[in-house]
Amino acid sequence: MILDISSYNGVIDWNTVTKKNQIDRVILRATTKNGKLDTKFLANYKALKALKVPIDIYKFSYATDAQSAFSECDNVIFEMERNKIEFDMLWLDIENDGALRWTKKRAFDVICGYMACLRLDYTTLGIYCNLDYYKSVIPEPFKTKLPLWIARWTSG
């Protein structure tokens, strides 16, 4: 089981969660819109490291072009380095942000901005989106070159 976690999930008793479930990996929200660490990030990170649970991070992107994406990614990496955070993969969450719709061009520019910041490191960047965004927004070259985490929800 892979979990994506942010401050919206509240305080988590990781000892209980890991005893009751086979947790293969946890993906933590790195920073908020203002560029600060998610308020529960460090507590979750420390608990998961102590339990030896593999950790990835994700960034819900507010970038609108390659330049703002580069800056946004640079801030995430700065916060991770400043706090001595080790992670396997940075997942770029590109979904709808209110009235600001994602287009193929915006997705292309933002992904390229992140890749430039990471120096085109395909091994540390993945794309998170829902199935509709995968079909209609993710540019074709990235569908085969980058890891994809496609959100799918079921009811019940």
pLDDT in tens, 125-143: 999 988 888 998 999 989 9
DSSP class of 92: E
144 closest CA partner among 134, 152, 129, 136 = 134
Percent of the chain with pLDDT over 70: 92
Handedness of CA 84, 60, 64, 94 (dihedral sign): positive
Most confident of 17-21, 67-71, 146-150: 67-71
Q: What average pLDDT does range 115-130 have in this prediction?
A: 84
Burial 48-85 (b: 16+ CB within 10 A, else e): beeeebebbbbbbbbbbebeebbebbbbbbebbeeeeb
- Label residue 99 by pLDDT band (50, 70, 90): low
Adjacency order of strands within the sheet including 25-29: 2-5, 25-29, 55-60, 90-93, 125-130, 148-151
Mean pLDDT taken over the chain: 90
Rg (CA), the chain: 15
Q: What average pLDDT does range 37-60 have in this prediction?
A: 97
Angle at 55 between CA 70 and CA 96, to 5 degrees: 45
Burial category of 33 from C-beta neighbours within 10 Å (exposed 0-12, middle 13-18, buried 19 and up)? exposed
pLDDT at 156: 46
